[in-house]
Amino acid sequence: MIRFRNPGTQYSTQIQVIKQLYAALGSQAYFTLDDMAVVIAQSKLMTAYGYAGDDAIRLSHTDQESMNSAKMNAKMYAEVFRMLGWVTPYSTESSYPLVFTYIGIHVALSVGDCSRLYEQCVLGINNPTQLTDNMSYTEKVRFFKCALRTLIDLDGMMYKHELCLGPMSINDEDEDEYQNMLRFIRSIRGDKRRLVSAFSDLADSLGVKLDPVDNCTRLPIAFMKSCNWVESVTDRTLYGRSMSCLRITEHGREVYDAIKDMHDMRLDEYEQLDEDTQKALIRLGTYSMLQRSGYDMSSVEEEIQADKSACMHIIGNKDLLFSPCQTLKRQRVEAALGIQLGVGTDSHHSFDTFESAVNEREALAAMQVWNLNIPEGAATELLTEPEDVDFLGRVNDLLASGYSSNEIVALLFEYYSDATQTTFYPLIATLFKIMGFKCSFSRPGDNGARWDAIIDDPVRSIPIEIKSPTEEQHLSIKAIRQALENKIILLSRQTHSTTPEVSTLAVGYHMPNERAEVSRLISDIKATYGYKIGVIDLNSLLSLSISILVDEKGFDKEKLYELEGLMNARILENC
């Protein structure tokens, strides 16, 4: 399966970043990740641990590269821009440093809207290329062309995991393989359990957990939405329950109609041709992208016509779908275009010029880890509501099917990935009840209850702010502020007994994206108001509950009353 490993970023942000990078680094012969990180941070296009500018660079600086937030952020942009063909390796020996490509410079120097060229770059993404020798996947596919075709053939609608099971996992030049893929997706539709099982099987075949596979959908979905090819809609026809799905737009259909009959040049075909034809294809592919993007190509019109004639025996009268900057090493592209990039001054940005602040950074990034090592059984006397019985039945069914504790957690986590408030609030209450806390939830629309759920204790009640996956996939700063408001209101109204020292909780599907910013806010709230705010994700709650239900191992409950910051709990592999 093709691995789109990077998170999604918006079109406008990508354009802004490439423009800033070229303005600052375009005169250099090449640039490094340090160069990129410094420029992006100083342009205040990123934050690290709650800070921007030089402060973000100082807080990020560490000898351990994977812990350097600014550099990892720069690396994410570098990989996205390399995929789009805007930057490419400077040398043939290593992935870094980088140079701007001919197409990348056009994007960086564009005035006004450059969405048409961006769209051409997204369509240009294909596998394999001369730049992906170290990739573990073997699919031969122009993914976005294949994805648009798949959407159309599946009646215009797909769930995100179907992208992984379908266009990411086939060779689109093999028509039999493509049709088999369509039949497979149609065969699992109608029952969410079949989808969950197929997705789990895919992850197992790749030797990874479910989350990394799910994350591979983020960037392609972001690309397709940026190009206005798809839109998110709530649909229950695909799998019999309400789910957030992708629906192809009219523009998406128009784009596929425009490209489906083009000559789709792939690397293996290109490499079989003679050198003169290869050079003509490089020029024709590059100039065709610019021409379809609205650029005035009159200055090279004679060359375009000559190259079309030279390639007539290959492409006939068809337009050419081929992006050399995304497919070939830069030396070949530059030789064919008659240009020389990678010349100029030396790279000059370095993290060594900024004072390190490792201790402060580590404190901000801290997360509590709760061990599941205390013998304990589930508090069955609290599990009397229909939603409690339903959850226990689901767990028992999975256990009877031979799934381990970890597998049950993973399957349930995926099952609730698109849960609404109506489902998610009762689930959270059930999980806390399994752990032995008397917990009740508020019905959606009940304006009389300020908090979404509450742990009712004779002395130390805990209000809970809940964000369902359909509200926000990752807990946000807003959830932390609302958790603070819950604590203030509970102390003021005294509807349940509590004390200022007891935590107030924020619970959601995923931990916050900007963990350090959330940690800093929690720290600031503690310093200003004296209140503790704890943050828990669904995976941790499921791990705690399933460990108690299945393995009869629990945790120190006193920790919940004094939780401050982010909490992590995971079942050990040997449990």
- Residue 266 falls inside a structural domain: no
Q: What's residue 447's pLDDT?
A: 53
Q: What is the DSSP string of 386-413?
A: HHHHHHHHHHHHHHHTT--HHHHHHHHH
Would residue 379 count as lying in a domain?
yes
Q: What pLDDT is recorded for position 376?
A: 83
Cα–Cα nearest to 247, from 122, 163, 181, 152: 152
pLDDT of residue 572: 61
Tell me which H or E stretch contains 264: strand 263-264
| Count: domains in the chain | 1
| pLDDT tens over the chain, length 575 residues | 888 876 656 788 899 999 999 999 999 999 999 899 888 887 766 555 555 555 555 555 555 555 556 677 888 899 999 999 999 999 988 889 999 999 999 999 998 889 999 999 999 999 999 987 666 778 899 999 999 999 999 999 999 999 999 999 999 999 999 999 999 999 999 999 999 999 999 999 998 888 889 889 989 999 999 999 999 998 899 998 888 899 999 999 999 999 999 999 999 999 999 999 999 999 999 999 999 999 999 999 999 999 999 999 999 999 999 999 999 999 999 999 999 998 887 766 654 544 444 444 444 456 787 878 788 888 888 999 999 999 999 999 888 888 888 889 988 988 898 888 999 999 999 999 999 999 999 876 555 567 999 999 999 999 999 999 988 888 988 999 999 999 999 999 888 999 999 999 999 998 887 676 788 889 889 989 999 999 999 999 999 999 999 988 888 889 999 999 998 887 765 43
CB contact at 8 A, 261 and 96: no
Residue 121 lies inside a defined structural domain of this protein = no
pLDDT of residue 407: 86
How high is the pLDDT of residue 351? 45
Q: For position 491, which CATH number holds?
A: 3.40.91.30
CA distance 87 to 107: 11
Closest Cα partner for 367 from 557, 502, 536? Answer: 536
For residue 485, tell me if it sits in a domain: yes
Residue 30 near residue 97, CB atoms below 8 Å: yes
* Domain enclosing residue 445, as ranges: 366-568
CA separation for the pair 115, 124 (Å, rounded): 14
Closest CA to 348 of 38, 122, 101, 561: 38
Predicted local confidence at residue 350, as pLDDT: 56
Dist. CA 472–CA 511, nearest whole Å: 11
State residue 229's pLDDT score. Answer: 97
* Residue 557 falls inside a structural domain: yes
pLDDT value for 348 = 66
Please, how many CA atoms are within 13 Å of residue 46, restricted to the half-sphere of its CB? Answer: 28
In a domain, 168, yes or no: no
What is the 8-class DSSP label of residue 67?
G
Whether 350 is covered by a domain: the verdict is no
DSSP secondary structure letter of residue 464:
E
Partners of 455 in beta bridges: 439, 462
Could you tell me the maximum CA-CA distance found in the chain, to the nearest angstrom? Answer: 86
Tell whether 177 is covered by a domain: no
Helix (H, G, I), strand (E, B) or coil at 340: coil
Cα–Cα distance for residue pair 530/542, rounded to 1 Å = 30
